[in-house]
Structure formats: structure tokens, C-alpha cells
Structure 1
Amino acid sequence: MANDPHTAPHRAEEPTTGQLLVQASQEMRELVRSEMRLAQVELTTKAKGIGVGAGMLSGAGLIALYGVGVVLAAAVLALALVMDAWLAALIVGVALLAIAAVVGMVGKSRVQAAAPPAPTETLDNVKQDVAAVKGGLHR
């Protein structure tokens, strides 16, 4: 009767269904927490990139403002003085506007590179996790 398969004792090292469900629940909670931490890091990184780009755009606006001031001064000098003085002011103003254009384009590209602000890597990981869990349930 000791070899009867219907009366064989349950092996202690095999977890019960309830234990497996508890373990799966704990692992899912930890997985969700990990994905949330990853999303937070990803969003922080993207926000920093957007901040740098916005700062560069602000700098471009300030440089453009100075350029406009110099171009206006050149126009005034052109009307009031000899050709040499206004021509020098005009060259400086155009150079400032060219610098502003370059800084503005770089800032714009930095903002576009950081967008979209959604945590795409985290979303991809969550999709893979869900697919893996579904695959495990269908076996």
C-alpha cells in the first residue's frame, strides 16, 4: 500500500497552487514597481533634454534681441553719419542674427530629439512583460 500512487504523500518541496498564486502576485507587484521606477528615470531624462533645448531657444531669442538692437542702431547711424560707421554696425548686427539662427536651430533639434515625453522604453517593456505572462498562462 506504500507504493499505491493514490495514497502517495504530497512532496513538501512542491509549492501548492495557493503558494504559486501568492508568489506570482508578489512578483507582479515587484515588476510593476520596477517598471514605474524605469518610467520615472526615463521621464526625468527626457525632461532634462527638453529643458536644455528650451534654454537654448531662450538664448537664441536674447541674442536675436541684441541683433535687432544693433541693426536698429545701424539704421540710425546710416541716416545720421558717414557710411563707415553704420556699415560696421550693420555687419555686427547681421553676425549676431546669424549666431541666433544657429543657436535656435540647435535648440529646436534638441527639443525635437527629446520628444515625445512618453516613456517609450518602459511601455515597450510592459508590453513584453504582458506578452510573456499571457504566453505562460496559455501553456
Structure 2
Amino acid sequence: MTHMPARGFESYEGTTVNLDDRPTTGAPSTVSSIPLSEPGVKSNGEQSIGHLVKNASAQVSTLVRAEVALAKAEAIEEAKKAAIGSILTIIAGVIALYASFFFFYFIGELLSEWLPRWASFGIVFLILLVITIAAAIGGVILFKKITGPKKTIASVKETSQILPGKGDHSATGEHASSSGSKGASATK
């Protein structure tokens, strides 16, 4: 015959424990159950499907957040390069516009002491043109150094190869439905 314990008492395998006895060491008055196995793990040691899906979705979420953070970091780095290239190109234009008028007029007048006036101002114009071209080439070189987010692209490709069914359109039937709609529209 089973014996029902009185209020305040719990019975475990024939042993009666009084939960109302308050320890003097400051420990809590309630006893929480101590699981003998990890939550979500079956008795044979395998994890349940729900636990596996929960873990997989958490890991995919973490992976996506890491991919976004990597893309942001690379984009910021490339934007800094683009800003520096733009600033150098603008500086080259401003210098070519303002300084050329005053400084190169002086050089033209100075050269006209030894050469005909037309030749001296022709030389000044060529010097101005060379400086402008050099600054523009420097800006173009900096713009060409700007690259896409290579690490992010490589990581996304690696992730798509690891995850089953991702990037494989034949498994979802996407190509079949799109080609079927083309055939249906061609017959109309």
C-alpha cells in the first residue's frame, strides 16, 4: 500500500524528508530537483530532434550575425579608401584651378625674359597639365585598390557548401517551376 506523505514532507524511495526544517547555514529552504541528465537528451545519450533543431537554428543565427559584422567591417575599410581617393582627386582639381592662375602666370612671365612670350606660357601650360595628370592618376590608382568584401564572399560560399539544400535550386524545384511558366506563356 502506498503511503501519502503529510504536508511539508516528501517521500523518496521509502525515505521521508522534512522540507520545513530550515538549515542554519543560510541555504534556501526549498530543494530544487537536480536533473540526472542534460535537458533535451534522451536516456540513451542522443539529443531529441527539437533540441537539435534549436541548436542548429541558434548556430545559423550566430553565423548570419557574424557574416553581417564581417561585411560591415570590410565595407567600412573600403569606404575609407574611397574617401581618401576622392579627397585627393578634389585637392588635385582645386590646386589645378587656383594655383595655376597665379603661380604659373609668374613662371610664364619669368620665362619670357629668355624665351618668346608665347613659348614661355606654352611651357607653363604643359607643366600645369603634367601636375593635373599626375594627381588624377594617383586618384585612379587609389580607386582601383578598392575591392569588394572578399572575406565575406568566401565565407558565404563556404557556408552555402556546408549547409544542405542551400544554394541548390534543383532540390526546391525552382528551375522546374520557372521553366514551366515560360512554356505556359509561350503557348498562350
TM-score for the superposition, normalised by structure 1: 0.69
Measured after TM superposition, the shift of residue 98 of structure 1 is 1.9
CA contact (8 A) 2:93 2:132 kept: yes
Local SS of the residue matching 1:62: helix
Larger proportion of helix: 1
Letter in 2 for 1:53: G
Letter in 1 for 2:143: V
Structure ID, larger Rg: 2
Measured after TM superposition, the shift of residue 133 of structure 1 is 1.1
Q: Residue 139 of structure 2 corresponds to which residue in structure 1?
A: 107
Q: Residue 30 of structure 1 corresponds to which residue in structure 2?
A: 62
Letter in 1 for 2:157: K
Q: Residue 172 of structure 2 corresponds to which residue in structure 1?
A: none
Deviations 1:101-137 (A, max 9, x none): 212101111112215xx534312211210111128xx
Specify every segment of 5 or more residues in structure 1 that has no aligned partner in the other structure, as ranges.
1-8
* Count of equivalent residues: 121
Name the CA distance, whole Å, in 2 between partners of 1:27 and 1:49: 34
Name the CA distance, whole Å, in 2 between partners of 1:68 and 1:99: 10
CA contact (8 A) 1:66 1:96 kept: no
Alignment of structure 1 residues 96-135 onto 2, 5 Å: 96-115=128-147, 118-134=148-164
TM-score for the superposition, normalised by structure 2: 0.53
Alignment of structure 1 residues 81-100 onto 2, 5 Å: 83-84=112-113, 91=123, 94-100=126-132
CA contact (8 A) 1:50 1:110 kept: yes
User: Taking CA–CA contacts closer than 8 Å with sequence separation of 6 or more, which of the two structures ends up with the larger relative contact order?
Assistant: 1
Measured after TM superposition, the shift of residue 94 of structure 1 is 3.8
Name the CA distance, whole Å, in 2 between partners of 1:42 and 1:105: 25
Measured after TM superposition, the shift of residue 72 of structure 1 is 7.4
Name the CA distance, whole Å, in 1 between partners of 2:79 and 2:144: 12
Q: Residue 5 of structure 1 corresponds to which residue in structure 2?
A: none
CA RMSD of aligned residues (A): 3.2
Q: Residue 43 of structure 2 corresponds to which residue in structure 1?
A: 10
CA contact (8 A) 1:50 1:114 kept: yes
Larger proportion of strand: 2
Identity, in percent, stands at 27
